[in-house]
A and B are shown apart, each in its own frame.
Chain A
C-alpha cells in the first residue's frame, strides 16, 4: 500500500493561500486623530502609506449598529454612499493634507480581517489585512501596520432599549461630526462622566436640545465646573436616578422614564433620543482576530490589548483608543505619530509609548453601578441580545431560543447548574442561548452579557468572561467576501473534507475489489 504515497497531499493548504493583492510600507487602519497622525508621519518619513477608514459605512451596516450604535437615528442621507464619502471627506481637513502628502486614502472601506502566521497557522505567504467595500473584498500586505481603530459604544439594556432612538455616544458623535446626518432633536444622556459631558457639549453646540443627563451616583462623576455650565445651559441633571424605561411609538423613542435609585416617583422626560454615554469600549477586533493577547484592564476600558500602545505583535502596532481609553485628541495624535515612527524602524529604543497612569480610574466599577441600577429597574424579560431576541431571564437560565422545545430537564438547567462545572464562559453560554450570535456581531451585547454573567456568578467585573473576535470582524456579504479571482492552485486542490482516498469507502467494501472502484470514482472526495 505504501507505494502509492507521493509525499505530497494535494488537498493540504500548503502554497494555496495567495499573497496580498496590494502592498504598502505602512498601512494605517482608522482615520481618527491617532490614525491620521500616524499616516501623515509615515508619509513624512518617505514611506508608502495606505490609510483606510470605514466611514462612511453603508446605511445597511448602520441599521445593524456596525460599527457604532447608531440606534436608527440617522437621516436618509446615509443611504447615498457617494454623497456621504464627500461629506465625510469634507468634515476632516486633514484628509486633504494627507492626500497632498502622498497618503493613499480610502474612505468607506472596511478592515474585516488581519492575519499573520502564528500557532497553528503557518500557511500565509505574508501577513495581510482584509479590506472590503460594498462591491468587493481584497487583501493588502505591509511592512508594518498601525491599528488606530478607536473605540465603540458600550451598550446596556433596559426596557424599551430595542427601538429607534436609543443609541451610543460614538454613534451620535459620528452622525453629528462626520455624517451630518443625525435625525434626532431632543436628547437624554445617560452618564455624567467625561464622555457624557463631551456628548452634551457637542449636542448643544450643534443646536440640539439636551433635555437631561442621568446619573446613578449621588453626584456627577465628571468635571463639576463643566457640569455647572451644562446646567446653566438648561440641561437638567438627575443624580441618584436611573432610567426605568424608554417609551416609544412608531418612530421610536418619545420619552425617557426615570426614577430615583431604589424606588420613588417616576418622572417622564419627553425626548426622541436616549444616548448612552456611560463608557466606550476599545475596538480590539482586528488585533484579537490576529491572535494578539487581550487582557482585562479596568483603567483602560475593560478588555484591551496587553500591549499599552506601540508594538503589539511583530509588525503590528497600536495607537489611540484601541490600545486603551483615556487620551485626549492631542495625546492620541502624538501616540499615532510615535507608533508610525516605531513601525517604520525609527527610534527603536524609545520610551514606552504610553506610560502607566499615576492614578487609575476603575471604569468597570462605573459600568457595574449602571448595570446593577438598570437591572434593578427592569423586568428580567427585557431583551439583552437584540439580534437573537434573548431575554435576560433566558440568558441567565441558559435556555435555548424560543423555536426549540424546552423540556423539563432543559428548564431545570441554569447558569447556576453550569457553574457547578466551571467558571462562566461567555462562548459556551453564547452557543447555548444564542446571545451574541447575531448580525451586529454582538456589538450591542457582548460587554453586557459578560457583565451579567459575572454579576450572576458573584465575580468581580474584572473577571467578567469575554467572547472573542474572528474574521470577518465586520459583516461582509457572501458575494463581496468571495474571492472571485481565486488562484488555480486553490481550485485544483479543493476537497470537501480531507481528500483521504480510503475514508469514504463503505465499510462492507473495505478490502474488496469494489473498494478500488470507489476510490477511482470518488477520488477521495466525500460528500456527506
Chain B
C-alpha cells in the first residue's frame, strides 16, 4: 500500500491544490509523491460550491482555458458545465450584480444583463420575486468530489504516487534546504517540497522560521433532492453560492462562518449547525419553485484564509526548494491553473503564463502579530475548552 521511497517532489496535502500540482508535475515527467493525512480531497476541496468563475484572479485566464479540457486531460469526468446565471430578489442585489457585470466587462469578460422575464425563462424555478440578474458568459462549475478523485487518479496514471492516511509530521532540513518529510511511515526524502496542506500549512512551516498567516473557519452548505435539470446548472444569487448538480440536486452555501482554532492533525469534527434553516430560506426565496424539494443533507467544510483573502502561491527564497500554496478559501475552481503555477515554480522557478508577484508570502512581512484579533477572526470564547 505504501512505500518508504521518497520522491523528487513531495506534495504535502492531497487537497485540490496539491493534487493539481502533482498532476501537472507528473505531466512534466517529474517523480511526484502526494501525502495526505486522510483520504484525498477530504476537506474543503470536496466541500464547496464547485464554482469556476474567478475573474479576480491572475489565474483566471488559465482557469478558463483549462476547464473545458479537463475531462479529456484527466481521463475522468469532472461534471464541468460552462457559464453562470446570478439572479436577484432585492434591488440591492441587482445593483450589486450589475456592478460586477460592469467590472468584468471592463476587463473584457462578457456578462449579459438579464431582465426579470429573461431570468425566469432561464431559471424555471425562479419566482415572481425575481428582479433579473446577470449571465456570465464565462466560468462555470464542476463536481468537487469527482474532480479531486480525478486529479488523484490521473496523477497515478502518470506514475505519480499518493499515500493516504499518512500525515506529514515535520520537515527535515540540511544545508538550507528541505531534504525530507517525517511521517508515521518513516522519513521520505525529496529534492523539492510543495506545502499545500490547507490550515495545517502554518504549523508545518513554523519550525523552519517561516510564518504563514492563516486563519481557519467553518462554512456550511445544504443539498436538496434532485429537481428537473435547468439549462444552466450554475445558478445562484440572493446571498448564496452553489449550483444544480448534473443529477439535479441543488447545493447551496453562504452566510456566516465560524473562526476556529487550527488543529495540527486536521479538524476533529466538521459539524453543521441550525444555519441550515437560514440557507433553506434563501434558497426558497431565490427559487420559489423549489420550495417543496426536500433538503436531504447538510455539510460543513473547514477553510483557511490569509489576512487579505488572497492566495499565497510562492516559491520561498529560503529554503529555496519549498513552494507554499494556499488559495485562501477560493481554491477549487482555480485548481487547474494553480497546479500549473505551482508546477512552473517548482520546475522553472517562475510562472510562465501569468504574473503572480502580488501573491507572494513576503507581502505579509510587516503583518501585526495580532492580525487575527484586529480583524475579529478569533475563535469564539469557549472554543478551546470544546476541543475534542
Q: How far is the CA of A345 from the CA of B140 in the complex (A)?
A: 56
The smallest beta-carbon distance between B354 and chain A, in angstroms, is: 9
B9 within 8 A of A: no
Q: Could you tell me if A119 and B268 are in contact, using CB atoms closer than 8 angstroms?
A: yes
Report yes or no: A511 in contact with B358, Cβ–Cβ below 8 A. Answer: yes
Minimum Cβ distance to chain B for residue A343 (Å): 22
Is B358's CB under 8 angstroms from A510's CB? Answer: yes
- A side interface size, CB within 8 A: 91
Q: Which residues of B contact A496 (CB under 8 A)?
A: 239-241, 254
Q: Across the interface, do A472 and B107 meet the contact criterion of CB distance under 8 Å? A: no
Given contacts A12-B256, A506-B56, contact A122 B305 (CB under 8 A): no
Of the candidates A2, A9, A421, the one whose C-beta lies within 8 Å of that of B368 is: A2
* Contact (A117, B382) CB under 8 Å given A13-B257, A497-B254, A498-B257: yes
Given A123-B380, A503-B310; A9-B375 close (CB under 8 Å): yes
Residues of A within 8 A of B283 (CB): 478
A471 engages B77 (CB within 8 Å): no
B206 interface residue, CB < 8 Å from A? no
In the complex, chain B residues whose CB is within 8 Å of the CB of A11: 256-257
Contact residues of B between 241 and 295, Cβ < 8 Å to A: 241, 246-247, 254-260, 267-278, 280-281, 283-284, 290-295
A494 shortest CB reach to chain B, Å = 5
Residue contact A470 to B298, C-beta cutoff 8 Å: yes
Query: Roughly how many angstroms separate A9 CA and B260 CA in the complex, as a whole number?
Result: 13
Residue of B nearest to A123 (CB): B258
State which of A9, A16, A122, A475 has its C-beta within 8 Å of the C-beta of B225. A475
> How far, in whole Å, are A123 and B236 apart by their CA atoms in the complex?
27
Contact B296 A475 (CB under 8 A): yes
State in angstroms the CA–CA spacing of A500 and B226 once bound together: 33
Q: Is B65 an interface residue (CB 8 A)?
A: no
Residues B96 and A407 in contact, CB atoms below 8 Å apart: no
Instruction: Find residues 1-19 in chain A having any chain B CB closer than 8 Å to their own CB.
Output: 2, 5-14, 16-17
Per-residue CB proximity of B158-196 to A under 8 Å, as 1/0?
000011110000000000000000000000000000000
- Given contacts A481-B276, A493-B256, are A507 and B77 in contact (CB under 8 A)? no
A236 on the B face (CB < 8 A): no
Nearest-neighbour CB distance to chain A for B232, whole angstroms, equals 14
Asked if residues A490 and B224 are in contact (CB atoms below 8 Å), the reply is no
A408-441, CB under 8 A of B: which get 1 and which 0? 1110010000001110010110011010011101
Contact of B382 among A122, A137, A475, A505 (CB under 8 A): A122
Are A17 and B149 within 8 A (Cβ)?
no
Is A483 in contact with chain B by the CB < 8 A criterion? yes
**Within 8 Å of chain A (Cβ to Cβ): is B297?**
yes
Interface size class, chain B: 35 or more
Contact B39 A409 (CB under 8 A): no
Residues of A within 8 Å of B376, CB to CB, are 5-10, 12
Q: Mark A108-121 against chain B: 1 for CB-CB distance below 8 A, else 0.
A: 00000101011111
Q: Is the CB of A522 within 8 A of B274?
A: no
Known A-B contacts A9-B376, A410-B76, A497-B329; A490 and B84 likewise in contact (beta carbons under 8 Å)? no
Check B100 against A527 for contact (C-beta < 8 Å): yes
CB proximity of B21 to chain A, nearest CB, Å: 18
Q: Which of A9, A123, A130 gathers most chain B CB within 10 Å?
A: A123
Segment 70-85 of B: residues with Cβ below 8 Å from A = 71, 75-77, 79, 84
Segment at the A interface, from B24-32, B47-55, B116-124, B336-344: B47-55
Any B CB within 8 A of the CB of A502: yes
* Chain B contacts for A525, CB-based, 8 A: 96
Contact of B275 among A12, A13, A118, A400 (CB under 8 A): A13
Set of chain A residues within 8 Å of B165, measured between Cβ atoms: 422
Are A7 and B373 within 8 A (Cβ)? yes
- Interface pair A528/B291, CB less than 8 Å apart: no
Instruction: Annotate B353-388 by CB proximity to A: 1 below 8 A, 0 otherwise.
Output: 000001000000000100001111101111100111
Q: Does A225 contact B (CB under 8 A)?
A: no
List residues 71-119 of chain A with CB under 8 A from any CB of chain B: 113, 115, 117-119
A482–B238 alpha-carbon span in the complex (Å): 14
Chain A residues with Cβ under 8 A from B258's Cβ?
A: 12-14, 120-123
Closest chain B residue to A60, Cβ basis:
B294
* Pair A432/B145 contact, Cβ less than 8 Å: yes
- A118-B269, A482-B277, A518-B103 given as contacts; is B302 within 8 A of A498 (CB)? no
Task: Give the A-B pair count, Cβ closer than 8 A.
Answer: 288
**Does chain A have a CB within 8 A of B33?**
no
* Interface secondary structure of B, over-half rule: mixed
Q: How far is the CB of B136 from the nearest CB of chain A, in Å? A: 7
Complexed CA–CA distance, A494 and B254 (Å)? 8
Contact, CB under 8 Å: A528 / B246: no
- Selected from B268, B272, B290, B382, the residue in CB contact (under 8 A) with A471 is B272
Give the shortest distance, in Å, between A129 (CB) and chain B (any CB): 10
When distances are taken between beta carbons in the complex, the residues of chain A under 8 Å from B297 are 441, 470, 472
Tell me whether B217 is interfacial, beta carbon within 8 Å.
yes
When the two chains form their complex, are residues A5 and B274 in contact, meaning their CB atoms are under 8 A apart? no
Question: Contact: A505 with B77, CB < 8 Å?
Answer: no
Inter-chain contact A477/B54, CB cutoff 8 Å: no
Contacts of B76 in A (CB 8 A): 407, 409-410, 413
Distance to closest chain A CB from B78 (angstroms) = 9
Say yes or no: A500-B309 contact (C-beta < 8 A), given A122-B379, A122-B381, A478-B293: yes
CA distance A361 to B152 in the complex (A): 42
A115 touches B107 (CB 8 A): no
**Residues of A contacting B275 with CB < 8 Å?**
13, 17
The proximity string for A residues 396-410 relative to B, scoring 1 for CB distances below 8 Å and 0 otherwise, is 000011011111111
Contacts of B203 in A (CB 8 A): none
CB of A498 within 8 A of CB of B280, answer: no
- B330 interface residue (CB < 8 Å to A): yes
Name the one of B146, B218, B254, B328 contacting A431, with C-beta atoms under 8 angstroms.
Answer: B146
Cross-chain contact of A505 among B56, B270, B278, B295 (Cβ < 8 A): B56
Residues of A within 8 A of B380 (CB): 13-14, 122-123
Q: Which residue of B lies closest to A15 (CB)?
A: B380
The answer to whether A121 and B241 touch across the interface, beta carbons within 8 angstroms, is: no
A401: chain B residues within 8 A (beta carbon): 247
Other 11 A-B pairs with CB < 8 A, given A478-B294, A483-B274, A483-B281: A2-B374, A13-B258, A16-B256, A115-B273, A425-B39, A428-B39, A472-B298, A482-B291, A495-B256, A527-B100, A528-B136
The interface of chain B, by Cβ under 8 A from chain A, is 1, 39-40, 46, 51, 53-58, 60, 71, 75-77, 79, 84, 86, 96-97, 99-100, 103, 107, 136, 139, 145-146, 149, 152-154, 157, 162-165, 217-219, 224-226, 236-237, 239-241, 246-247, 254-260, 267-278, 280-281, 283-284, 290-300, 302, 305, 308-310, 328-330, 358, 368, 373-377, 379-383, 386-388
10 closest cross-chain pairs (CB), A and B: A503-B309, A479-B291, A500-B309, A9-B376, A409-B75, A475-B294, A482-B281, A483-B277, A431-B145, A5-B374
Question: A residues touching B (Cβ–Cβ < 8 Å)?
Answer: 2, 5-14, 16-17, 113, 115, 117-124, 128, 130, 137, 139, 289, 291, 388, 400-401, 403-410, 413, 420-422, 425, 427-428, 431-432, 434, 437-439, 441, 470-472, 475-479, 481-484, 486, 490, 493-498, 500-508, 510-511, 518, 521-522, 525, 527-528
